[in-house]
């Protein structure tokens, strides 16, 4: 995101804001991500909690891309003998 970008968002009756999709895309934010809001001289600094995103990524099991193929014992022995 470049310094000149600005985005408008409107507070609803419960004090919530909806971040524009273009801003969410630029920040890489997805549903369920945690963000921090910090007051800064009459404005608000929004930062993403990338540590929790990283922990969630590590906790997600990898997708299988097919059944693994194991070499036969004789082929493994040949590999071991020539290695």
CB atoms within 10 A of CB 45: 10
In a domain, 66, yes or no: no
**The CATH number of the domain where 40 resides is what?**
2.10.260
More confident residue, 2 or 64: 64
In a domain, 2, yes or no: no
Q: pLDDT tens, 33-82?
A: 888 889 999 888 888 777 777 777 788 887 777 777 787 888 888 888 77
In a domain, 69, yes or no: no
Print the domain residue range for 45. Answer: 9-59
Three-state secondary structure of 13-32 = CCCCCCCCHHHHHHHCCCCC
Angle at CA of residue 20, ends 6 and 24, nearest 5°? 95
| Contact yes or no for 30/23 (Cβ under 8 A) | no
In a domain, 4, yes or no: no
In a domain, 25, yes or no: yes
Number of domains in the chain: 1
d(C-alpha 36, C-alpha 42), whole Å: 16
In a domain, 78, yes or no: no
In a domain, 31, yes or no: yes
């Amino acid at each position: 995101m470049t310094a000149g970008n600005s985005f408008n968002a409107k507070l609803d009756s419960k004090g919530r804001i909806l971040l524009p999709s273009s801003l969410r895309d630029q920040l890489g934010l997805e549903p369920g991500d945690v963000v921090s809001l910090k007051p800064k001289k009459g404005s608000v600094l929004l930062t993403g909690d990338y540590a929790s995103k990283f922990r969630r990524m590590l906790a997600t099991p990898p997708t299988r891309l097919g059944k693994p193929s194991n070499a036969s014992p004789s082929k493994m022995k040949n590999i071991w003998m020539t290695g």
